[in-house]
Amino acid sequence: MNWPHSVTPEALLKKAREAQQAAYVPYSRFPVGAALLTAEGTVILGCNVENASYGLSICAERNALTTAVALGERHFVAIAVVGRHGEPCLPCGACRQFMAEFNAAFFVVLEEGTESLLYRLDLDLLPHPFVLEGAFPLEA
């Protein structure tokens, strides 16, 4: 797969591992870290944040995306996600849809053993996202 940036998948995974340190997971005890790469090379971190009202919990991926948007970033090329060491932590359906809002062809970097595993959102993880006809969020 043709990686689109000078920041490597391995460097992005390392950042995701750093982000995982901040995870707030008293209920699942399953910390997740995400590192989001912008076209300009900025890396924005996210971790999962859980709540006593379980359904309110936010995933690491959406935390990174909403943080990035609040910082004025909208042009994303890739996201690295880590959970248990060496096991691919595949983004949930809600996070896939959230990514597709900004870039249908997002690169998703996961860990498999000591290797990085690359997926494309449009080709592998969410080939048929929900789209709202007539809405152009990047131009808004």
Q: How many angstroms separate the Cα of 72 from the Cα of each of 10, 76, 112, 126?
A: 25, 12, 32, 25
Q: Quick one: DSSP state of residue 45?
A: E
Contact between residue 41 and residue 22 where contact means Cβ atoms under 8 Å apart: no
Residues 6+ apart with CB under 8 A from 75: 38, 39, 40, 102, 103
Q: 61 with 70: CB under 8 angstroms? A: no
- φ, ψ for residue 75 (rounded to 5)? -105, 95
The 65-104 site mask, x for binding ligand DUR (CB under 6 A), equals: ----------------x-------x-xx--x---------
Q: From the candidates 10, 18, 40, 61, give the one annotated as an active-site residue.
A: 61
Q: How far is the CB of 102 from ligand DUR (least distance, A)?
A: 17
- If the CB atoms of residues 61 and 101 are measured against ligand DUR, the closer one turns out to be 61
Cβ closest to ligand DUR, residue 12 vs residue 60? 60
Q: Is residue 61 flagged as an active site residue?
A: yes
Considering only the stretches 54-62, 96-104, 110-118, 130-138, report the one whose residues sit in contact with ligand DUR under the rule CB under 6 A: 54-62
Which one of 59-67, 96-104, 123-131, 132-140 is the stretch in contact with ligand DUR (CB under 6 A)?
59-67
* Contact footprint for ligand DUR (CB under 6 A): 25, 28, 30, 32, 48, 50, 57, 59-61, 81, 89, 91-92, 95
